[in-house]
Structure 1
């Protein structure tokens, strides 16, 4: 990974630590207290051994020292537990804040942006990548501070006793961070590649799992299994590369810490044998001095070793932060704070051009008007730009030109306030895991009577009354247990609860059987009385009731007018209508031939087989 990018990601990660609250500082505080209590223990142990072995004092003189050691042991255990809890809470608070920020950003960017990646990739970002920030904030950042505090406190305690021992500690301390950096230089890049491989595997696996029936029907199961195996193998290799980095860094740090402690032990050993005579302040080196320094020596390097151990958490977080930062810093359309006055909604587009999020022109420039209480249909071949127009109207795609809502530019309106005036119904109803009541109310304070009234308008109340749980009927993920028609009518009841001024409909009956389609259409006709409506549809035969029809082809508005007017004009609309009529006639002829063949077979069959 480029060093500039790594520094940028590290800076971004550190800026997020304010989300940890006071828990991060609390973790550092408990860590410092743990270090101080350990120094007190070292002093007590060295004092006791010096008094008993060298000074030959009775053991009874050190009863208080033993009790103090026991108390400090208990205190250290409590401090260690408190530090772990504070660290965990810091990471947990950060994860909650980060996931909320990611979900809020995705909600702001809208479905047009979300569809740019497989669902599995978003799941990887929201779950795995946010989860992998935990150790960076819970362990690495506090340890960086402690790696500076604890050794400094120990040096302050050691130098007044023996300056040579202090110099050895001071000279060998940089070895551990230096080799930690050298070993960890490739760790961030390895983690970044690991996350990329995981995102690809997650997205690929989830998409193939959702389309498993289609793959089986087209006999592509084995081929896709090989593709998933290849992606899994790539992810395994990336994971093993990360683990190699982690194990290598731990081994290197342990080696240099052991060498540094060994140098200290050799110095004191030769000093006690009178081969070395320096480092003291006039008085000979006592047993107390040697024991005190040697007990503290491992603890001097321990914060540095812990920082090295947790260094892979930094590399892991940097790998995870790349996509998180790109998402959270992704530019969004500037929206104003103006609010619409309650009442009828009018729409006026002047030289409107709609663009994709990467800047490609999808539609326009086009101009049209939708008056108060007017019902307008948008038709055209697939890929003409119909859904792009709706996405721009909903605030999910950028546009140029003018798009006036009741005389106010859409960009100047508050997005949340504007959407309160909308009732949305698409061709793929999205119900959420929860109860039927939750899916209709969607957070609104609605009574059971109001919800039942909405379900009655959507002509789904009979289904609810047949269920033992009633409004507590559980909606499973992917609307399991419901037909498409039932799910669509529940989504319709939810839309009716909006009390909207404008209905935005995107193929609301595309996936329904004839009975469900008639039920939904009848409900919509009743609900949209006195309201404005813009509807994208391919069902041209039912457009005679619409006030105006916009015909879009290849990103341009090629025709507009009432059903009667367009029927008399040569153009895209009449061509589409003729094609639809041909398809319907073909279906009728096919059904007739099948019935005729069945009758012929019945006539030819033996009497016993009829």
Structure 2
């Protein structure tokens, strides 16, 4: 009985059925050429050995065999290429589906998952499906079609040998299934263990510095080694079953071929059949069992694919959280239109059993000006910014863009109007210039430098070995946290976005650089709508509007000077965190 994983694998066949049929057709044609090749060889040997004729008399047969060899080789390679292209199409489609599903799940969901496990599923898991579609499925069809074609030619030559072939052929897959019973469970356990090992190993590499500093790197290495040893033992169990299947298949096919040879030998000895007929059948007997013998290898590919499909199905079946679901709006903003933001009693809840991250939040941000969101960690500042980027959806209330509900806007078009600097910016493989110009179509160098200067990044970039052409590794290897943050800020300044969202954009900067970057933010706010979430309040005191959040609720909002005079929550935050700044104000 087919498992749910195998039914899912087979359901993908409909997308590549023409290619699979073409691969099977080419393989079947190559199988027919085996029959022709055996007939020619049997004719040559019979004429020369039995009829005592010269090689010159069979030159035509010998000459015909050469193009048959070449054509068989070409057909087999063509069949493999077609099958592998079909498998590649399935892999591309699945990766596309997984990517879209991960996008739908949202970055907030991804932050709670193991990156090693996800990477193993998307890369190794999908690659493991290649042999299933490229080899197992085509050869399963050929396992039936080629032996049947051979049997059609064997039976007229020798019905006894044909009967032996017909009776022994089903025993091979039966023995293979009996021996391989339980391999599916072993493969699924192996994939689960591989996912754990990949996740642990990647986490160990990413946190290697921390592990060294806390003196637990050796212990972590022992844990990874134990997982690796467990995986090795499991792999050997799977291979033992696979090798046992191969031995059983080889044994059964060898015994069957020997039976055919013995029957033919006795009948030739007693003169009950012609040499040509017996030799022709004997040449075809190994080719009759060859697809059945190969099925052991392909059956192992099936087991591996089923094991990999378990993780793929688990990921694809992960329900999209309600807060991450989008309505798929179609409205678009005009390219030159300014952006006015208004939160109207917005409530966001990340999970049904958790308190709301935002609870009936209402505030407005002008098209040109700086709106600051302040509050303790967990107050809801980042959630408000995520909601503006449509990464989370309100369960109540509305976010209005120019009095148009955000849910009615086309998400892709809306994000073109948004620039974003997160708390922990990501640096991609590429040059410094590539990272600043991310998403822009080859902007002029002077504009890139202008953005870098505004973000106080030009000086350290110019000091790099190749300046703006210096290649950066993953996570900005070689750059400090503050330098990476300034690169991200330059990226946001370069993007011609009407809405700029800054989440702790100056958190990793020293006081002098923070003041310079703060001035750049204030200058930017004169031209665009800027919303800043911050703990440090030096820039906040110069904002046009301040929204104070506590446990997801707005407890105070207004101009900074008015809030300080009111001596409420905002004034207490200022006194607690930056009394020196209050004195300057």
Settle same-fold status: TM greater than 0.5.
yes
Distance 1:485 1:350, change over 3 A: same
Find the residue that maps to 1:77 and give its secondary structure.
helix
Find the residue that maps to 1:429 and give its secondary structure.
coil
Find the residue that maps to 2:3 and give its secondary structure.
helix
Q: Report the equivalent of 1:372.
A: 366
The separation in 1 between residues aligned to 2:421 and 2:199, in whole angstroms, is 27
The separation in 1 between residues aligned to 2:255 and 2:571, in whole angstroms, is 87
The separation in 1 between residues aligned to 2:458 and 2:57, in whole angstroms, is 87
Q: Report the equivalent of 1:336.
A: 328
Find the residue that maps to 2:426 and give its secondary structure.
coil
Distance 1:583 1:372, change over 3 A: closer
Q: Structure 1 residue 93: deviation in Å?
A: 4.3
Q: Report the equivalent of 1:563.
A: 560
1:551 aligns with 2:548: yes
The separation in 2 between residues aligned to 1:413 and 1:183, in whole angstroms, is 58
Q: Report the equivalent of 1:607.
A: none
Find the residue that maps to 1:142 and give its secondary structure.
helix
Q: Structure 1 residue 251: deviation in Å?
A: 1.7
Q: Structure 1 residue 143: deviation in Å?
A: 1.0
The separation in 2 between residues aligned to 1:362 and 1:188, in whole angstroms, is 43
Q: Is the 8 A contact 1:458 1:520 kept in 2?
A: yes
Q: Structure 1 residue 197: deviation in Å?
A: 1.4
The separation in 1 between residues aligned to 2:56 and 2:496, in whole angstroms, is 86
Q: Structure 1 residue 127: deviation in Å?
A: 2.3
Q: Report the equivalent of 2:10.
A: 14
Q: Is the 8 A contact 1:339 1:414 kept in 2?
A: yes
Counterparts of residues 113-262 of structure 1 (less than 5 Å): 113-262=109-258
Q: Structure 1 residue 419: deviation in Å?
A: 0.7
The separation in 2 between residues aligned to 1:239 and 1:573, in whole angstroms, is 61
My pick for the range that moved more, 525-534 or 96-105, is 96-105
1:499 aligns with 2:487: no
For residue 378 of structure 2, the aligned residue among 357, 379, 383 is 383
The separation in 2 between residues aligned to 1:491 and 1:218, in whole angstroms, is 31
Residue-by-residue CA offset, 1:224-264 (whole Å, 9 max, x unaligned): 22222222222222222222232122122222222322332
For residue 460 of structure 1, the aligned residue among 439, 457, 462 is 457
For residue 444 of structure 1, the aligned residue among 428, 440, 447 is 440
Q: Report the equivalent of 2:285.
A: 297
My pick for the range that moved more, 91-100 or 505-514, is 91-100
The separation in 2 between residues aligned to 1:157 and 1:434, in whole angstroms, is 63
Which runs of no fewer than 5 residues in structure 1 stay unpaired?
275-282, 586-610
Q: Structure 1 residue 26: deviation in Å?
A: 4.2
Q: Structure 1 residue 434: deviation in Å?
A: 0.6
The separation in 2 between residues aligned to 1:179 and 1:552, in whole angstroms, is 69
Find the residue that maps to 1:540 and give its secondary structure.
coil
Residue-by-residue CA offset, 1:539-563 (whole Å, 9 max, x unaligned): 1354222333333333444444443
Q: Structure 1 residue 56: deviation in Å?
A: 4.0
- Superposition RMSD in Å: 2.9
The separation in 2 between residues aligned to 1:50 and 1:237, in whole angstroms, is 54
The separation in 1 between residues aligned to 2:353 and 2:296, in whole angstroms, is 44
Find the residue that maps to 2:420 and give its secondary structure.
strand
Residue-by-residue CA offset, 1:339-372 (whole Å, 9 max, x unaligned): 3323232333344332337875542432313243
Distance 1:364 1:480, change over 3 A: closer
For residue 395 of structure 2, the aligned residue among 393, 400, 412 is 400
The separation in 1 between residues aligned to 2:372 and 2:245, in whole angstroms, is 65
Distance 1:294 1:492, change over 3 A: same
Distance 1:104 1:215, change over 3 A: same
TM-score by length of 1: 0.86
Counterparts of residues 503-518 of structure 1 (less than 5 Å): 503-518=500-515
Q: Structure 1 residue 104: deviation in Å?
A: 4.0
Q: Structure 1 residue 537: deviation in Å?
A: 1.4
Distance 1:30 1:364, change over 3 A: same
Q: Structure 1 residue 384: deviation in Å?
A: 3.4
Q: Report the equivalent of 1:590.
A: none
For residue 42 of structure 1, the aligned residue among 26, 29, 38 is 38
Residue-by-residue CA offset, 1:1-38 (whole Å, 9 max, x unaligned): xx6xx632223223434666865444323322221111
Residue-by-residue CA offset, 1:472-527 (whole Å, 9 max, x unaligned): 22112221122222222221121122211211111111122223322322222111
My pick for the range that moved more, 432-441 or 238-247, is 238-247
The separation in 2 between residues aligned to 1:189 and 1:392, in whole angstroms, is 43
My pick for the range that moved more, 383-392 or 426-435, is 383-392
For residue 313 of structure 1, the aligned residue among 301, 304, 307 is 301
My pick for the range that moved more, 558-567 or 285-294, is 558-567
Q: Structure 1 residue 569: deviation in Å?
A: 5.8
Q: Structure 1 residue 266: deviation in Å?
A: 3.2
Which runs of no fewer than 5 residues in structure 2 stay unpaired?
none
Distance 1:470 1:254, change over 3 A: same
Find the residue that maps to 2:12 and give its secondary structure.
helix
1:479 aligns with 2:494: no
Q: Report the equivalent of 1:529.
A: 526
Q: Structure 1 residue 64: deviation in Å?
A: 0.9
Paired positions, count: 573
Q: Structure 1 residue 222: deviation in Å?
A: 2.6
Q: Is the 8 A contact 2:454 2:517 kept in 1?
A: no
My pick for the range that moved more, 88-97 or 339-348, is 88-97
1:323 aligns with 2:311: yes
